[in-house]
Amino acid sequence: MKWLAEHAWVGGQWSAKVLLEADDTGHWSRIQPHAPLQACEGAQPLGMVLPGLTNAHSHAFQRAMAGLAERTERPQDDFWSWRERMYQVALRMGPEALEQVAAWLYAEMLRAGYTQVCEFHYVHHDPQGHAYADPAEMAWALVRAAQRTGIGLTLLPTVYMRQGFGQDGLSDSQRRFRADPDFVLGIQSRLTHFAQSNAPGLLYAGVALHSLRAVPPEALHEVEQALPQAPLHIHVSEQTREVQDCLQSHGRRPIEWLTEQVSLNSRWHLVHATHATPHELKLIRDAGATVVLCPTTEANLGDGRFDWTTALSLGVKGSVGTDSHVNRNWTEELRWLEYVQRLQWQQRNVSLQHQAGDTAGRLLGWALEGGAAASGLPLGGLAVGQRADMVELDLGCDALLGLPASHVLDAWVFSTPSSPARRVFVGGQAVPDRREELAPGFVQAMASLVS
């Protein structure tokens, strides 16, 4: 299959008359800007094309509470009170409802230009806290949701063993999350075998460790040793209380302590890292690990401000995710990443750090490279050997109408409203918009979860 794009984002810039050719495995075999006419014979025409992006952090079940946690009867609302409300949603969601909610969410992601999602999955057991007859029942619901929509899925079954530093076991509200390394590694192995036979190149399985507060050191070591290659994701330093508890328990800040416990390397993806110090960011950079930032969720939950300017100056790699799904557009994640810095420093185009260039292009390149690493798959953009994912923009939408080609990405990221893609391709195949057929199931699931 081959296409001819009027303009495509290749190597960090717009190129004209780009021939894009995919092989039978769904990977790019040819990317040729300024392609000669004879080479383009039989190519399908496209307008302006961006690479698909990886959503590097998702809790699909939390889509059911987006917009429903913006009221409080408490004198002060914070992350920890929000968490209790989130637990109540998790306690009510069975596999059927999870599949419906996730399928709707994944269709939204595709429409926004995400073509792969890293699902940080920790709702393992039934509402009473018992294992299903098939312990992977909830994981299969997510696989089915991805297959129904056409999005690629990196599934990260999650180790979750205790409720806090120095504490044993989980609270009753966390009973569905209980999972030790043996449980999670068993699910990861089954997912890997399934992917090889049924969804090669689209489904991949790594492992997540919920957080340092929820996973004891021996479990960190066990997972690290059992999986020498797969990506490992972990929440870290999201809240100041988490940092204080780690200091009290271990005499180290979370990322400092993590680097002493494991061989931190490029397989590790540290979600949030909101309160990482410059020293800890250097540790991440030197190890080749990445951060996974979720700016809209971090703002919604009042987590704090990630030290983006220091991370950029150090060359820390990373990606973005939508986490709790109060937003489902990667443009909004990148916009918030930049705008928070503008408010802090009272400057513009902070991500360029006073260099010439375009802010949107730098943000996209950063998220594209880091997202591929977080997914465990070749998703680095429009380049030979990468999976043939692409997004055709709708040049007639409000944000892009009348703009010169050179400024389209700038407007796609920084000009509201966030606009849907015209067409999305995953592995060389056009993915249809299935929201109309998925909507009734989502509405039914929501009715069962929200009272």
Q: Which residue in the block uniquely carries the two structure tokens 């407007």?
A: 411
User: What residues of the chain score a pLDDT lower than 50?
Assistant: none
Q: Residue 451's pLDDT is what?
A: 66
> Under 8 Å CB-to-CB from 182, ≥6 apart: which residues?
none
Question: The tokens of 232 are what?
Answer: 């490992």
Q: What is the pLDDT of residues 277-293, one digit of tens each?
A: 999 999 999 999 999 99
Beta strands in 179-308 (DSSP E): 203-205, 207-211, 232-236, 268-272, 290-293
End-to-end CA distance of the chain: 49
Q: Residue 75's pLDDT is what?
A: 75
Question: The tokens of 450 are what?
Answer: 């929200």
DSSP strand pairing (232-236 vs 2-10): unpaired
Catalytic residues: 272, 323
Domains and CATH numbers, the chain: 2-50+390-426 (2.30.40.10), 52-375 (3.20.20.140)
Question: The tokens of 31 are what?
Answer: 């990317």
Question: The tokens of 10 are what?
Answer: 């290749």
> Under 8 Å CB-to-CB from 381, ≥6 apart: which residues?
9, 10, 51, 368
Q: What is the pLDDT of residues 327-358, one digit of tens each?
A: 999 999 999 999 999 999 999 999 998 788 89
